[in-house]
Amino acid sequence: MPAFDEMTGTEGSVRPAYTELSGWLGEVPPDVLDYRRREAEVLFRRIGITFAVYGEADSTERLIPFDVIPRILAGSEWRLLKRGLEQRVKAINLYIKDVYGRRDILRAGIVPEDLVFQNPVFRPEMNGQKVPHDVYVHIAGVDIVRVDADTFYVLEDNARTPSGVSYMLENREIMLRLFPELFSRHRIAPVDNYPDELLATLRSVAPDSSTSEPNVVLLTPGVYNSAYYEHSFLADKLGIELVEGRDLFIKDEIVYMRTTQGPKRVDVIYRRLDDDFIDPLAFRPDSALGVPGLMSSYQAGNVTLANAVGTGIADDKAVYSYMPEIVKFFLGEEPILKNVPTWRCREEEHLAYVLDNLEQLVVKEVHGSGGYGMLIGPSADKATISEFRAKLKAAPKNFIAQPTLALSTCPTCVESGIAPRHVDLRPFVLSGRDEVRIVPGGLTRVAMKQGSLVVNSSQGGGTKDTWVLDD
Amino acid sequence: MRMHVSHDTVYRYETPPSSVIQTLRLTPRNHSGQYVVSWLISISADCRLDAQDDAFGNLIHTFTAEGPIDELIVHVEGEVETEDNAGVVAGAIERFPPALFLRDTPLTQTDAAIVEFSERYRSSGANTLVMLHEMLGGLNREIVFDTNPTHTATTAAEAFALKRGVCQDLTHVFISAARHLGVPARYISGYFHRSDGVNDQEAGHAWAEAFVPSLGWVGFDATNGICTTDAHLRVAAGLDYLSAAPVRGARSGGAGENLSVRIQIDQAMQQSQE
Amino acid sequence: MLSRTADNLYWLARYVERAEYLARILEATQRLASVPIPIAGGTNEWESAVATAGCENAFFEVYEEANEETVTEFLAFSPDNPSSIRSCFEVARTNARAVRTALTVEMWDAINGTWLELKRYGNGPTSREEFSRFLRWVQESSLLFDGSAYRTMLRSDSYWFTRLGVFLERADNTARILDVKYHLLLPEAEHVGGPLDYFQWAAILRSVSALTSYHWVYRESVKPWLVADLLILKEEMPRSLANCYENIVTNLDKMAGSYGRQGPAQRLARGVRTRLQNSRMDEIFQRGLHEFIQEFIADNNRIGGIITQQYLA
């Protein structure tokens, strides 16, 4: 079954949003495109993504392939996505508040109690904890895939420390430099206000006790973290300090940073450090990356952590399948964005179906126990399938299953010229005190290998600029 | 019993740290079998002691002492009246349903040996209380009290393999086994008044509480092989040692930390009418 | 600014300065060692190079004898010596990377380029000529970095911290040369200008790139007490202790002005500067050159420690 193509649909005729691009691709000589592609790489190395690691032995590996052909969304498509994302993130915030508070959703039997209580990403330490302005997920990176002209699925709600937004910004910057003429043929919604929107969001959630000019900082695990580049890039764009755990300390339930002019109070921490490492007095005692006592200040309501501690309980694979019900429960609305149909192996009927159809399904291991165990039925051999069958029978609770999706494709520069490759989309949703902000577009990831559905950069995936037409 | 506790934790540093931060779970709360008559924490350094409730309802105190600090003493002193309720703990602060306490933590994760051990008692599962009592006895025979081989980061599985450990280790194994059998169990840190007349102790005590449907939470002291009595003073509850730890701290700078603990627990003089 | 950022900038500048200094010592020593020694039993120049670099103990833990090969390896290329030229550039670059966004593009390119180039030298040169070129390259790299900072950095606390790093390190380095070679500079050794002594004095001046300046300042042949005067008291001489302290005080004062607050670092540094301004060379000789230098090194270290306490920790 051929996948839906973003440019030509399934019928082969060019879809309206791609009219200009398609024409341009027809005009532009292949060597010019190839030349621009190499130019883009040079630009990335020179000014962009890799400047922090430039010269490291492994710099070549860290350069994520960039494809110069943009992925385009029509204005109407984007408006649908935007409404859906706002709805979903609102529900996620209400759900997390409930899970650490009244637990109505558990009492109503909508999400099973053990799924929450026994989940490693549930943080008992957050129980009864009030967070400033009831916002838990300030920054969400929701992964969306498309299967036909009208159907977008949410694949994953990244509600902890989603990354990739620096690529969204750099990709646009590079495209503007390389293809000004292409931009002049379109009306493309800008993305470069993202840092401003992010800063406004972070400031809006400062604790009530903070000063009128809240001090926002970005907490990084340090230069050895694989996303350090993004951390320093964002801190720079936001004009805030990039701090490590050792730059901060707690005194009398207030967070301070050590500056050359003495201690300075910190009000909001955009933290890119996992829950486990954030405070050795509350979580992993061996963490040297965190701030001892941070949770005491957090509990006292004197600092905002973005995202809040314990938000993993919203993006866990096991919880994911309940998201449509969660949306209905908290908002009383039908979800605008669908979930990928998911079988919960913890439920007997679902398990039976999954066991009967392993060859067609993708089986994913949920939280904890063993990491990345995944079965892609159609491409697995018999031995692997029977191994998974045994695992499923032994511990059905640990698994969910989904159909193998035909992700949409987008024209992409490859060795042989221009060919369709599978893509997904990660828009970044910002939730502030009273406003949800979404910069139009997001990060489009593309599987560079023919037929591959894996868009992860760690497995050879690349990125594209994402254009939302202002039509 | 009216119990009098005096507890000093003394830190000495060869190179003084520039600051020390600690969170203390050292203050008992009342429940139906325990009434706190008086209780006081004092820190040898100038600092503010901030009180908060943690997620489990324990009273915690946090302080930051600024140095250079070459010696730091955390002194706890108080009197508590306790009753023997055959281990049943009623009226304590409960912030979670019992089901939460089926949750695994790195310190209480089972392994094959603990699973095998706990399965021996499943047959008596018709009556949870009987099952837990038998397991308590079994565990007390299985593991020898020994302060040498384990430390605060020893897991249940490691201690069970060593067949040796302190009250913390025995408690972790008990919790791990109980949870495996589907019985919610939690870690309690506190004090224990010895009946043999030895009042000076070098460490606090720890035991487990397990949830028995007909009775509620019941204290099981695996080290002594008994249910808790009026000799047990309950201070903090959590999922494991780390979440109920009497002291968790960090320092900035400094080196050569030397820690000593002095605990004195005796029966207070009964009050009488003048 | 964050204390850690200031600390990184300060040490970045210090290590680049130290690398340059090591290259200068090695260059001067190479030159001195190549002079035919008329007097048997002359001093071991390689040993004194190690002493001047301030790492005698560490050196003799690894090697038995100080000679051209061992000293070159240890001071220039050894990864085990935390103060070898290679280590200096590596630490400098690590510091730079940690504060990448606080540097100008030019500074980053200078230090990162140096670090990349360093890899090409591998474990050491294959010939004396190549080593000489290496030493020149080290000095040029330091000049490039220093010049980039001077010409491109905003004049704010970031800049002042890099300057403090440079001048504290430089003061320490000049004082160490004086500390090791002080006996050659004592006026009691009145034996005028044996050829060896001349080369020694010239070598000292060369190691602080002051041979030409000497002639412009004094307009006479090289005399030991004038060498000491130039390196200690002459404010117009860029590597003299007096000049370093003029700069340290100026930069600390700018910081105090900008922060609206001064502390012990300012007071102590002014004290040292005043002492240098009010001293005369004959008095210093009378009270003892060695003691004077020792005291200066101790003061300089103390000020480094206090700057760390006041701003960087």
The b/e string for A149-159 (b: 16+ C-beta within 10 A; e otherwise) is eeebbbbbbbb
Whether C116 has its CB under 8 Å from any CB of chain A: the answer is yes
Angle between helices C224-232 and C241-259 (to 10 degrees): 10
> Which one of C1, C98, C101 has the shortest CB-CB distance to A260?
C1
> Which one of A55, A223, A235 has the shortest CB-CB distance to C116?
A55
How far apart are the C-alpha atoms of A110 and A94, rounded to whole Å? 14
How close A289 comes to chain B (CA, Å)?
12
pLDDT of residue C89: 96
Region of poorest pLDDT, from A55-69, A70-84, B21-35: A55-69
Q: What is the percent of chain A where pLDDT is above 90?
A: 73
The three-class DSSP label of residue B265 is strand
> Does position B219 have pLDDT exceeding 90, yes or no?
yes
CATH of B88-244, one of 3.30.70.20, 3.40.50.300, 1.10.287.310, 3.10.620.30: 3.10.620.30
Mean pLDDT in chain A?
91
pLDDT tens digit sequence for A117-146: 999 999 999 999 999 999 999 999 999 999
B101 is written with which tokens? 């306490």
How close C1 comes to chain A (CA, Å)?
5
H or E segment to which residue C258 belongs: helix C241-259
> Which one of A223, A236, A258 has the shortest CB-CB distance to C3?
A258
Q: A242: which chain C residues are within 8 Å (Cβ-Cβ)? A: 101
Region of poorest pLDDT, from A307-316, C35-44, C112-121: C35-44
pLDDT of residue B63: 97
A222 is written with which tokens? 């340090």
pLDDT of residue A125: 96
Give the C-alpha distances (Å, rounded to integers) separating C85 from A384, C115, C121, C145.
55, 11, 12, 15
pLDDT of residue A57: 46
pLDDT of residue A113: 95
pLDDT of residue A207: 96
Q: A54: which chain C residues are within 8 Å (Cβ-Cβ)? A: 112
pLDDT tens digit sequence for C8-33: 999 999 999 999 999 999 988 888 78
pLDDT of residue B270: 60
Angle between helices C195-207 and C157-185 (to 10 degrees): 170
How far apart are the C-alpha atoms of B203 and B222, rounded to whole Å? 16
| Domain boundaries B2-82+247-267, corresponding CATH code | 2.60.40.2250
Average pLDDT of the residues in A90-112: 97
Helices (H) and strands (E) in chain A, counts: 16, 21
pLDDT grade for C36, boundaries at 50, 70 and 90? low
pLDDT tens digit sequence for A381-401: 899 899 989 999 998 988 999
pLDDT grade for C100, boundaries at 50, 70 and 90? confident
Q: C97: which chain A residues are within 8 Å (Cβ-Cβ)? A: 52, 223
**Residues sharing a CB contact under 8 Å with residue A197, sequence separation 6 or more, in sequence order:** A430, A437, A439
**Residues sharing a CB contact under 8 Å with residue A21, sequence separation 6 or more, in sequence order:** A7, A69, A70, A72, A182, A186
Closest CA to A407 of A395, A424, A432, A384: A424
How far apart are the C-alpha atoms of C66 and C45, rounded to whole Å? 9
pLDDT of residue B59: 97
pLDDT of residue C185: 73
In eight-state DSSP terms, residue A353 is H
Domain boundaries defined on chain B? 2-82+247-267, 88-244
H or E segment to which residue A323 belongs: helix A323-331
Q: What is the percent of chain A where pLDDT is above 70?
A: 94
> Does position C92 have pLDDT exceeding 90, yes or no?
yes
* Whether the Cβ atoms of residue C181 and residue C200 lie closer than 8 Å to each other: yes
**Angle, CA of A28, A31 and A36, to the nearest 5°:** 80
Q: Which residue of A has its CA nearest to C98?
A: A223
Region of poorest pLDDT, from A43-52, C142-151, C304-313: A43-52
Ordered domains of chain A (ranges, CATH): 16-207+303-337+407-468 (no CATH), 341-403 (3.30.1490.270)
- This prediction has a pTM of 0.90
State the ipTM, two decimals.
0.93
**Residues sharing a CB contact under 8 Å with residue A217, sequence separation 6 or more, in sequence order:** A235, A240, A241, A242, A243, A248, A257, A266, A268, A269, A270
pLDDT of residue A46: 64
Q: Which residue of B has its CA nearest to A297?
A: B62
> Does position A60 have pLDDT exceeding 50, yes or no?
no
Q: What is the percent of chain C where pLDDT is above 90?
A: 57
**Angle, CA of A405, A406 and A410, to the nearest 5°:** 135
Task: Please indicate whether, in this complex, the C-beta atoms of A118 and B104 are within 8 angstroms of each other.
Answer: yes
How far apart are the C-alpha atoms of C122 and C116, rounded to whole Å? 11
Give the CA radius of gyration of chain A: 23
How close A326 comes to chain B (CA, Å)?
21
**Residues sharing a CB contact under 8 Å with residue B154, sequence separation 6 or more, in sequence order:** B165, B168, B169, B172
Cis check: omega of the bond before C95, within 30 degrees of 0: no
H or E segment to which residue B250 belongs: strand B247-252
> Does position A58 have pLDDT exceeding 50, yes or no?
no
The three-class DSSP label of residue C132 is helix
Question: Hey, of A54, A256, A260, which one would you mutate to test binding to chain C, going by the most C CBs within 10 A of its CB?
Answer: A260
Average pLDDT of the residues in B161-187: 96
* Whether the Cβ atoms of residue C205 and residue C177 lie closer than 8 Å to each other: no
Whether B248 has its CB under 8 Å from any CB of chain A: the answer is yes
